[in-house]
Structure 1
């Protein structure tokens, strides 16, 4: 997805305009999903990740039951982002991967709470990635792209 006017689109109304993209691309832009998922997402510690992962996965199931692939994929992206963001804070003091423009070496484990949160999100993320319904919907959607 590119930055541009396509983000003024309601992707539930126009799923054909949704592009899968890479990784977590679009999580803060693609509506109405950002509005439905962002408040459920958090990674401060294991408890927050448990609550967030469960809530986002519940939304994923709703999207799946409705045949809403953009929603399914956005839920997957929020679960992935829970893992990657928490892991960044787990391995870099203050989550700062770069200092003065230079990438610093990761540490093991700077923030154990964030590591626990990352591991929780990894389980939810994997559950979606391995869901046959998700895989089939993703393939079908990409064929139409």
Structure 2
């Protein structure tokens, strides 16, 4: 008669720690990227953000810009892979912190890396428009075979991969709904602050009425 095999002494994995195939794991990323002094901005700043699927407002909210911009690079495929991976790690880290605006800003930087690299792939020197007269500009024709075109195509693909992951992230969509609900509640309980901010915008204090300066941070970053 064959001897019975002794039972394993290692405990079975807890089902509570098994991530759902649809919902991302709530555990933090393997490395904490946020500096110890990082803190979510006050509600008067945090709840003024308006979610938008484009890159609009990527340079506006603080302190997110200061944290994410130094990691935004797309000059070579190697830099793009590193950059997109770090930015996506920030994206997941903000999910763990339940900071939707942080997730939104990380997603915007990833998306901007994709579109900027693609622009340099399509246009020599990344110049899509040429100024023809005051207030008027003309879109240039796409160039072919220019130096660095293939590298920028690959860099754009690296960012696109992470951008698609952001779009599929269910936690991102869930936090968006939570954020919009909290934003409505905060605005309802702080009507005076909201009215004052609106009056400032109407008086021309808003950045929309200030002369726009061309940002040069995307010059073959």
The interval holding the TM-score normalised by the smaller chain is 0.7 to 0.9
Alignment correspondent of 2:94: 63
Does the alignment pair 1:12 with 2:41? yes
Residues 42-81 of structure 1: matches in 2 within 5 Å? 42-81=73-112
Contact 2:94 2:100 in 1 (8 A): yes
Deviation by residue 1:70-113 (Cα, 9 ceiling, x = unmatched): 00000000000000000000000111111232111223564111
Give every structure 1 segment of 4 or more consecutive aligned residues whose post-TM-superposition deviation is greater than 6 Å: none
**2:40 & 2:168 partners in 1: Cα distance?**
24
3-state SS of paired residue (1:20): coil
Where does the alignment leave 5 or more consecutive residues of structure 1 unmatched? 1-9
Alignment correspondent of 2:129: 98
Alignment correspondent of 1:87: 118
Judging by fraction of residues, say which structure has more helix: 1
Where does the alignment leave 5 or more consecutive residues of structure 2 unmatched? 1-38, 132-136, 185-221
CA RMSD, aligned part only? 1.8
Q: Which moved more, 1:36-45 or 1:107-116?
A: 107-116
TM-score norm. by structure 1 comes to 0.85
